[in-house]
A and B are shown apart, each in its own frame.
Chain A
């Protein structure tokens, strides 16, 4: 038996023994665990599952063992993901620490910082949010003004961040702050880790068009941050930010393929078509409206082409040492634009039934689609707008003149 086959067998045994029964059931709308100091589990099995996987390091399977990660290589990680999918186990932890901060810390943080923060991310003990955008700094992120001033062993931070996801439920915030001159704007920025449990940090949720409030405004008024929480060098925070943005965009791109549970694509057939058929005229299993049918096919084919591209790029990465291919630059752009398109087609098929806001005349799935449709409008704004992505491709990939 090869090492990998042996690993697969051991992994399957371990998962079967250790995954609690409730965690083998499909995910529910409120079933996701985000961890943190004030984490509330909706079921005791959730806590058990997170604890067991966290101790094994399998919430972060490829991170180094010395910081509590799983230490798995590319192939082993793939095996683990496959076995978890086969067994239908739930994702143990949703976390910006895992998806965004952790990878950047592994690259830029000091040994001491890694030892302090990474194990807690892996075990879900600390919940992180991201403090980047400001009211006057959106696409032009580097113009940010939140200021950190040295004061003995500390920095004193003043300013305001916006679009901080779930800031009202988080323990720590990773922020970009100005420590140097306003110009040149990229060179006076530092990357600070700030504990939110202090009087100088306040959060206020923002209500969105979808009715939900996943984002906050976060205010810093003489917030105190020990100097040991500076990551990388003073005034070199932009390097960390760029690295972290890549991880963020990768995460956001994958949302374009997931999308609504209602329109998720199964192994055969099309979720979009299955959903549409409930609302439009169908004859001999065919959607009669040829215009709509062509639009659905085009959208399904784009999903298919996009997932093949994600697969191709990961195969290329495995087979070469040249770093990520140019194709990675399209992921965020294409994923978010495609997801928006998909929801517009759903609305077209469902007509007014997709535009309900509340009450018994609309099914729960329909009301969810209304809100998900509104949510998709942010896909092409957050994490770098589509226009910024197009700029990045034009300049960095196509090398077009400034």
Chain B
């Protein structure tokens, strides 16, 4: 397994870094947030991201994507995470693209994947059923009625659920778990915005007798669990990369502040009490970089240790972003809790991202289970 970026990944990283710095610095995030646009992202920026090919990185070339793989989208998310860029990339280009590529019929792939790649179609994955991640579906059910399925129940904290055109629903069917596709304006779907502390889009979605035709079943009935686990791991590795970007930026912002701020006639960065804490954070970040690189590349290497490595990355980067966002605010002193300074924005994002598909405790538990204790 390689822990050094490939040429393609390095290229994507440079390109995205330039884009993020020019087009979507944190002032962009603030303007989207303050515009009270309920979608919580800028469609013009999304169009430009799609033009650069970012929405098609996980999509095969025959369906209009580039198939650069998870290492590719990982470095992109990392750079966008640095500037807190809000976009449908995670829910649409990671979750949506992966689920449809892996399970879709040729017809479904032809219908949806090119539209994702060109930025015209957004998706969300209606999966969670409570405030804490649980990979087993039990609340939302799919009942067979003739040639159709009836979906009932409530999904929570669906990333981008407030605007996504296409909803991919995980539901409990008679003998297992199944996936279904539904357009957002279908009868039987009620979307309730769950506005989160990080100002990204999130919704709870209520399904009341939603009718699904057989052409909108994704994959085999009762047989989706394995692919769901696989795609959850892809998503966890991807969100870990975004979190690493956020943690790196929050750390750099803080270290720069330590070099500027003066108290008692000296820079506060000269105080050993702060220096040692900063050095500890640097150490943890170095470990996180290795874990994230490994988790992105292990899919391509087809390692049989993928779930364990992904849990390692999500737990480690979760702990570290948690630590750095707390310490960052504290080291900024009073201005750290003002809206004017960016550090507080990273604190908010850190906590929301930490919950997505399992917090650090969840992944430590999973790592222990997979290791045999």
CB-based contact A401/B364 at 8 Å = no
| Minimum CB–CB distance for B270 against chain A, Å | 4
**Contact residues in A for B367 (Cβ distance below 8 Å):** 297, 300-301
Query: For the complex, what is the distance from the CA of A389 to the CA of B283, rounded to whole Å?
Result: 11
0/1 per residue, A256-285, Cβ < 8 Å to B? 000000000000111001101100000001
CB-based contact A334/B287 at 8 Å = yes
CB-based contact A273/B4 at 8 Å = no
* Residue among A293, A296, A297 having the largest count of chain B Cβ atoms under 10 Å: A297
**Contact residues in A for B286 (Cβ distance below 8 Å):** 309, 326-327, 330
**Contact residues in A for B95 (Cβ distance below 8 Å):** none
Known: A297-B365, A312-B3, A394-B279. A401 touches B290 (CB 8 A): no
A286 within 8 A of B: yes
Query: For the complex, what is the distance from the CA of A157 to the CA of B133, rounded to whole Å?
Result: 68
A residues 296-311 near B (Cβ < 8 Å) are: 296-298, 300-302, 304-306, 308-309, 311
> CB-nearest residue of chain B relative to A389?
B279
Query: For the complex, what is the distance from the CA of A299 to the CA of B316, rounded to whole Å?
Result: 11
CB-based contact B278/A394 at 8 Å = yes
CB-based contact A308/B270 at 8 Å = no
> CB-nearest residue of chain A relative to B371?
A270
CB-based contact B275/A390 at 8 Å = yes
Query: For the complex, what is the distance from the CA of A31 to the CA of B134, rounded to whole Å?
Result: 51
A398 within 8 A of B: yes
CB-based contact A391/B275 at 8 Å = yes
A38 within 8 A of B: no
B276 within 8 A of A: yes
Query: For the complex, what is the distance from the CA of A9 to the CA of B353, rounded to whole Å?
Result: 50
CB-based contact B3/A308 at 8 Å = yes
CB-based contact B269/A312 at 8 Å = no
| Minimum CB–CB distance for A311 against chain B, Å | 6
Partner of B368, one of A293, A397, A402: A293
CB-based contact A398/B278 at 8 Å = yes
**Contact residues in A for B316 (Cβ distance below 8 Å):** 301, 305
A287 within 8 A of B: yes
| Minimum CB–CB distance for A243 against chain B, Å | 22
B residues 108-161 near A (Cβ < 8 Å) are: none
0/1 per residue, A22-55, Cβ < 8 Å to B? 0000000000000000000000000000000000
CB-based contact B372/A273 at 8 Å = yes
Known: A305-B312, A401-B266. A391 touches B272 (CB 8 A): yes
A400 within 8 A of B: yes
Known: A308-B3, A333-B283, A391-B275. A402 touches B270 (CB 8 A): yes
Partner of A304, one of B2, B279, B312: B312
CB-based contact A400/B278 at 8 Å = yes
CB-based contact A294/B361 at 8 Å = yes
CB-based contact B282/A334 at 8 Å = no
| Minimum CB–CB distance for A394 against chain B, Å | 4
A15 within 8 A of B: no
**Contact residues in B for A296 (Cβ distance below 8 Å):** 368, 373
0/1 per residue, B339-373, Cβ < 8 Å to A? 00000000000000000000001001101110111
**Contact residues in B for A300 (Cβ distance below 8 Å):** 367-368, 371
**Contact residues in A for B364 (Cβ distance below 8 Å):** 294, 297-298, 301
Query: For the complex, what is the distance from the CA of A276 to the CA of B371, rounded to whole Å?
Result: 14
Query: For the complex, what is the distance from the CA of A276 to the CA of B4, rounded to whole Å?
Result: 36
| Minimum CB–CB distance for B157 against chain A, Å | 24
**Contact residues in B for A319 (Cβ distance below 8 Å):** 4
Query: For the complex, what is the distance from the CA of A402 to the CA of B272, rounded to whole Å?
Result: 9
**Contact residues in B for A389 (Cβ distance below 8 Å):** 279
Query: For the complex, what is the distance from the CA of A277 to the CA of B283, rounded to whole Å?
Result: 31
| Minimum CB–CB distance for B174 against chain A, Å | 29
**Contact residues in A for B293 (Cβ distance below 8 Å):** 308, 312
State the main secondary structure of chain B at its contact with A: helix
B243 within 8 A of A: no
A344 within 8 A of B: no
0/1 per residue, A380-402, Cβ < 8 Å to B? 00000001011101110111111
CB-based contact B287/A398 at 8 Å = no
Classify chain A's interface size.
35 or more
| Minimum CB–CB distance for B289 against chain A, Å | 7
Known: A277-B373, A297-B367, A400-B269. A308 touches B282 (CB 8 A): no
Known: A286-B373, A394-B278, A400-B259. A302 touches B287 (CB 8 A): yes
0/1 per residue, A306-347, Cβ < 8 Å to B? 101101100110010000001100100110000000000000
B255 within 8 A of A: yes
Query: For the complex, what is the distance from the CA of A319 to the CA of B6, rounded to whole Å?
Result: 11
CB-based contact A312/B373 at 8 Å = no
| Minimum CB–CB distance for A252 against chain B, Å | 15
Query: For the complex, what is the distance from the CA of A309 to the CA of B276, rounded to whole Å?
Result: 21
Partner of A400, one of B258, B280, B371, B372: B258
**Contact residues in A for B361 (Cβ distance below 8 Å):** 294
> CB-nearest residue of chain A relative to B309?
A304
| Minimum CB–CB distance for A385 against chain B, Å | 12
B80 within 8 A of A: no
CB-based contact B3/A315 at 8 Å = yes
**Contact residues in A for B294 (Cβ distance below 8 Å):** 308
**Contact residues in A for B290 (Cβ distance below 8 Å):** 305, 308-309, 311-312
> CB-nearest residue of chain B relative to A276?
B373
| Minimum CB–CB distance for B151 against chain A, Å | 35
Partner of A269, one of B278, B289, B312, B371: B371
CB-based contact A273/B371 at 8 Å = yes
| Minimum CB–CB distance for A201 against chain B, Å | 38
CB-based contact B4/A312 at 8 Å = yes
**Contact residues in A for B247 (Cβ distance below 8 Å):** none
0/1 per residue, A123-150, Cβ < 8 Å to B? 0000000000000000000000000000
B315 within 8 A of A: yes
CB-based contact A334/B283 at 8 Å = yes
CB-based contact B372/A285 at 8 Å = yes
CB-based contact B368/A273 at 8 Å = yes
| Minimum CB–CB distance for A344 against chain B, Å | 17
Query: For the complex, what is the distance from the CA of A398 to the CA of B251, rounded to whole Å?
Result: 11
Query: For the complex, what is the distance from the CA of A393 to the CA of B316, rounded to whole Å?
Result: 21
CB-based contact A315/B2 at 8 Å = yes
29 contacts between A and B (CB under 8 A): A268-B372, A269-B372, A273-B371, A277-B373, A287-B373, A294-B361, A297-B365, A300-B367, A301-B316, A305-B316, A306-B287, A308-B290, A309-B289, A315-B3, A316-B3, A330-B282, A330-B286, A333-B279, A333-B283, A389-B279, A390-B275, A391-B279, A394-B272, A397-B282, A398-B279, A399-B259, A400-B269, A400-B274, A401-B266
A-B pairs, top 6 by smallest CB distance, nearest first, are: A394-B275, A273-B373, A393-B279, A312-B3, A308-B290, A297-B368
Q: What is B's interface to A at a CB cutoff of 8 Å?
A: 2-4, 255, 258-259, 266-267, 269-270, 272, 274-276, 278-280, 282-283, 286-291, 293-294, 312, 315-316, 361, 364-365, 367-369, 371-373
Q: A274-B373, A311-B3, A400-B270 are in contact. List 12 more A-B contacts (CB 8 A).
A: A273-B372, A287-B373, A294-B364, A297-B364, A305-B312, A308-B3, A308-B290, A309-B287, A333-B283, A390-B280, A391-B275, A400-B259
